[in-house]
Amino acid sequence: MRLRSLKNKLALVFCGITLLAMTGVWFYVVPQLESSLRAQRRDDLKRVALATVDSLQRVEAGSNVRRAKHLDDLVRAIADTADARVTLFAVQSSHAHPTQFWILTDSAAAKQVNETKLLAHEAATGNRTRTGYGRLNGQTVTQAALPIGSHKRAEWVALYSRSLDGVTETVSLIRRRLLVAAVLAGLLAIVGAYLVAGLLSRRVRRLERASRRVAAGQFVAPLPVKSRDELGQLTAAFNDMQQRLARVDRARKEFVANASHELRTPMFSLGGFIELLEDENLDEASRAELLSAMHGQVHRLQKLAVDLLDLSRLDAGSFELEQDHVDLAEVADMVAGEFTPAVRRGDADIELRISEDIDVTCDRERVAQIMRILLDNAIRHTPSGTRVTISASRRNGNAKVTVADSGPGIDSGTAPQVFDRFYTGDSNNGGVGLGLAIAKELAERMHGEIRLNARPGRTAFTLELPAGAHGE
């Protein structure tokens, strides 16, 4: 037997529990039952003895009736009524001699009943009724000894004895039935354990095989969840884990592919520009134009490197957020000032619409980073001179910052994808499609969110933070 097997372990556990239960019944319940039945027989005998001893009391109280011929008949009649053996002892005691007993009569016509004198002696010396158990003719009996005489001294002792064979037979029957029940329970425990373990082991093996395939990178179809027990919950958790891993794996592959593409494009461009610059016949105007284009590609590579670093830190959970009291109006004014060169070039017309101080508890630098991303996104994806407004408000305990533009808007079919990594919408804006994804991650880390409200002629991104927002 392999103890590592779940079936064998469960079978041993079930059998062990059954054995412990049966042992407890055998050594505790059955003895208690036997003791209770014996006590019931004893108390019943005492009650019958007290009810039938009056006739002997009257005979003993008579002046000349100790040797009455009908004494034997009376004792036999009392024995028949009490359904017990009745032995009548005479008692003689004095200060000089110990208490002596002899049999006056016995319902079984016995002349020697040595095994019963102890309880009769206790009843005579104590002059009170005594009950107990003893041995009579090799049998275990329950007894009741009643003193007969005056309040000061007992003259006779009537000893009632009743066999306990019925109790013994009942207890023996219970023990035999218990043994049979123990064997049947043990067999049922083994069969039940193997059936239950078989069902459990099949489900566990199915999970094990699926886990090994997922570990090898081979995602499987969702496993069926047929129950609500712990294994059913584990199966559901496994399916959820597999879906998450599949999404992460797809995102990783897309990330690597997109990042490689985004890096390869400027690198090839820089390589081509360098080859053109090596031409000795290149005029100064063309050289200056090539250098300007190279600066743009280098700036694109720098931004891509920073964005990739931010995303990797967010994915790794190592992005630490500070908790500061921040005035959103002040941060918005600072970020808008950073885009002054773009305004002077005519790329956009930035307008602030903030009339009050709005304080929140959050990470100042990360909120400023989100605002830069939203503002840069609005300028990059709209025609030159488009009006871009920055507004802030407080409502229902939440602080909101909205960056809106009056550009052509976003198509409703592509709106859900704007927060996806490497999604750019068009290939001519110079972006790499990571800004909005980073902004969304940062907002969620500060227990906030970014919502998009787009229609033809207006696109608005709203950053919403709880008034007591804090970082993870």
Architecture of domain 320-466: 2-Layer Sandwich (3.30)
CB under 8 Å to 63, separation ≥6 — which residues? none
Residue 327 burial class via C-beta count within 10 angstroms: exposed 0-12, middle 13-18, buried 19 and up: middle
Give the range among 4-8, 116-120, 347-351, 366-370 with minimum mean pLDDT. Answer: 4-8
What mean pLDDT comes out for the span 67-90? 84
Q: Output the pLDDT for position 214.
A: 81
Q: Tell me: the pLDDT tens digits for 377-433?
A: 888 888 888 889 999 888 877 888 999 998 887 776 666 677 776 666 654 554 556
pLDDT attached to residue 6: 67
pLDDT at 150 over 60: yes
Which sequence spans correspond to the domains of the chain? 53-163, 230-313, 320-466
pTM of the model: 0.46
Please give the residue that has the higher pLDDT: either 177 or 279. Answer: 177
Separation of alpha carbons 59 and 105, rounded Å: 13
pLDDT tens for 83-97 read 999 988 888 876 656
Write a three-state SS string for 197-243.
HHHHHHHHHHHHHHHHHHHCCCCCCCCCCCCCCHHHHHHHHHHHHHH
Q: Evaluate if residue 471 carries a pLDDT over 50.
A: no
Confidence category of residue 45, pLDDT binned at 50, 70, 90: very high
Tell me what pLDDT residue 272 has: 81
pLDDT exceeds 50 at position 63: no
What architecture is the 53-163 domain classified under in CATH? 2-Layer Sandwich (3.30)
pLDDT in the model for residue 363: 86
- Is residue 292 over pLDDT 90? no
On whether the 230-313 domain is CATH 1.10.287.130, my answer is yes
Residue 468 in this model has a pLDDT that exceeds 50? yes
